[in-house]
Amino acid sequence: MSNRKDFIPILDEEASGVSPDANSVANLWDINADSWAKARAAGGQAVVDRLYGDEVFRMLSPMSGSRLLDVGCGEGGFSRRAAQAGARVTGVDISSKMISIAKSEEQRQSQGIEFIANDIAKLHDLERTFDAAMAIMSLKDMPDAAQAIDVIASLLKADGVFVFVVYHPCFAAPGSGWRRTDVEPFWQFDPGWYWKERPVLERWMPEGVSDFLPSPIFHFHRRLETYSQYLKDSAFSVVQIREICALPRLAPPQMPTSLPLYLVVKARKLKR
């Protein structure tokens, strides 16, 4: 078993003194950017990236020639994977430090990816449209996910596809995680945690590395019905939902294999 007390260790948001707004989200990810990029380069997150990343790319296939918006692109790992699959990629992230790292790697690899440092919720006036958009574990970091989804809809062509990944709201709600007993550990979650929508700070350790990120990051927990309403309000129709469990042969020791910890949603933009 892992030495971690919980898979998703949660800090008390009120005790932190950090306001759960977009500026704070950007600042916290700026603090974590170098450590995150180093962990990714060293293979950290490889298992969980494969768990939901493969599903995202299957839902977006075929990608060759498509104009793809990567929302919350971070250091650009999934943007580069999409470019390798033939997509023309624009990556957006609120963290200027993450985008700086992504641009440096783009200069090295020259895949034709455009990276923009900005809050997606403020990009209504981006002068282009996209065939598809993906938001891989980024909507959960956004204080105004409803506005973000609305902007994504405005940037997609008619019938454009939007695929996103979040923690499964039921089984990976704040507070859930491994609990140790004298007999054997078990994955604890409580229905009360699911119903309480709130921002929390999670102190997070990328899989494959030995220490936590320097700073906690915000996780804005939302119920399934909330995401459904956001999509409906922005004229999206849900096409497919996949609940992702870890394969026993691939799962790191701190990850349960009988519960889906990730939710992958494919939606299509309706004609208004």
pLDDT, tens digit (0-9, with 9 covering 90-100), for 118-134: 999 999 888 889 999 99
Examine the pLDDT at 57 and tell me if it is beyond 80: yes
Return the axis-axis angle of helices 77-84 and 46-60, rounded to nearest 10°: 50
- State the pLDDT at residue 11: 40
Sign of the Cα pseudo-torsion (217, 20, 98, 61, in order): positive
Closest listed residue to residue 200, CA positions, set 140, 136, 119, 135: 140
Between CA 252 and CA 2 the distance in angstroms is 8
Domain ranges of the chain: 19-168+221-269
Match domain 19-168+221-269 to its CATH number in 3.20.20.140, 3.30.70.1890, 3.40.50.150, 3.90.180.10.
3.40.50.150
Q: What is the pLDDT of residues 186-223, one digit of tens each?
A: 677 777 788 889 888 887 665 555 556 778 888 899 99
Tokens of 50: 């494969």
The more confidently predicted of residues 162 and 272 is 162
Mean pLDDT score of the chain, rounded to an integer? 85
Question: Is 217 within 8 Å of 9 (Cβ atoms)?
Answer: no
Q: What is the pLDDT of residues 221-235, one digit of tens each?
A: 999 999 999 999 999
pLDDT, average across residues 62-88: 96
- State the pLDDT at residue 260: 84
Q: Cis peptide leading into 62, omega within 30 of 0?
A: yes
Angle made by CA atoms 129, 74, 215, in degrees to the nearest 5: 145
Highest mean pLDDT among 40-49, 135-144, 195-204, 216-225: 135-144
Highest mean pLDDT among 83-97, 160-174, 232-246: 83-97
- State the pLDDT at residue 40: 81
- 3-class DSSP assignment, residue 202: strand
Highest mean pLDDT among 90-104, 167-181, 216-230: 90-104
pLDDT, average across residues 169-197: 75
